[in-house]
Structure 1
């Protein structure tokens, strides 16, 4: 994988959006007892921080939830698909605890909860060709995490995709087994979507904090943050990463 490209078909739907991109190499994502308690505390603190996005007793009326539901109405989607940040906020709203899973997953879930933004991280070594975000032609191969059968993308659905199929369906709803993080993942790409100015401000802060946590937990320096817009829609993996 050499670059991330946001296709014109995405900007036609979301002309004011911004996609933040971050690359990192040399991650050791093996679960370890060494920082298990620290990661548990990180997730607990993030769950508490998420309360500021859950001020309305009616869950769907909270702005972060409502804004992403409206966004998902702009494209063809699988019935019941919701943004990843809604799924996390729903768990927090129900009083459920987040237990550590894998170090990098814990880190990006904590960022998502703390800043109210969707965050996804994929294994770059598993991306076939380059990574794109745009409207699906329909039929792109996709086997979601935990599934045993293919669930191909719908025509007009907004997806992340590569040369072999969909990487994440319905913008940020569900990722593919093929490119998901595992304990053996080392070289990664982080993506964060924002669709209005207020979200963009939070996403910019969130991505900088993600970079700091990657350094803190894994001892590696991530790339600069690439802020992609309709006027600058490509982020190349730096040679000196």
Structure 2
């Protein structure tokens, strides 16, 4: 059985980080599965976008707490130039009144949770992993083809990444997922993750992961197991 392991190199940089996981198995991430409730999921995304406005109270976008705390975190490791945390990317769309469009059921569910709680959420297809999944510092030789890109590039030495034996899974911690492990309509077993670097938001993290598990189970079926990881609990079975 493969594992998800958060290495010492990560905890040396972020000893107070908390990572919450939903392992969703036996789901049906298809439009056919949610045909009767697609409008409901779309409404979740719409309402969460409105709710996310509460995180944008500062006059300067970058000074909003849920954004500034991640910008500070990104300064602690090597990053690809100009990249931002996934929650900042979503909130930028809210700030510019662009909106967040539906992608597929599970991505829509975790985006709604991300917006509601102001925390970065992501997801990967467990069945595409090769070996263990690690959250760690990159060596610099991990290949990665980002969503939307046509050419692969390696992670940077010292960059915080999710990776497996085949290369990077998500670069710059939670910036962008790769095509190899992305959630698709064929996904049956999913690894869903919510991250926090702000110790004052532990209860928000717990509420967010609980909601993520609830919505995944409600709309996509299967089973959803929640696991909380921190510096004293660093790994789990997948």
Report TM bin, short chain. Answer: over 0.9
Q: For residues 21 and 132 of structure 2, what CA distance do their matches in structure 1 show?
A: 14
Q: Where does residue 40 of structure 1 map in the other structure? A: 42
Partner secondary structure for residue 39 of structure 2: helix
Which is strand-richer, 1 or 2? 2
User: Residue 227 of structure 1 corresponds to which residue in structure 2?
Assistant: 228
With normalisation by structure 1, the TM-score equals: 0.95
Structure 1 residue 27 displacement after superposition: 1.2
Distance in 1 separating the partners of 2:200 and 2:45: 24
Trace 1:118-157 onto structure 2 (pairs within 5 A). 118-157=120-159
Structure 1 residue 88: Cα displacement: 0.4
The residue aligned with 1:11 is 11
1:35, distance to aligned residue in structure 2 (A): 2.3
SS of the residue corresponding to residue 36 of structure 2 reads coil
- Between the aligned partners of 1:36 and 1:22, the Cα distance in structure 2 is 22
Cα deviation, 1:161-201, whole Å, max 9, x if unaligned, reads: 00000000000001110000111011011111111212332
Matches within 5 A, 1:37-186: 37-186=39-188
Please report the RMSD computed on the Cα atoms of aligned residues, expressed in angstroms: 1.1
Find the counterpart in structure 1 of residue 27 from structure 2.
27
Which stretch shifts more, 3-12 or 23-32? 23-32
5+ residue gaps, structure 2: none
How far did residue 96 of structure 1 move? 1.8
Deviation at 1:156, TM superposition (A): 0.2
- Residue by residue, what CA displacement relative to the aligned partner does 1:8-61 show, whole Å, maximum 9, x if unpaired? 000000011111112011111112443221111111110011011111121111
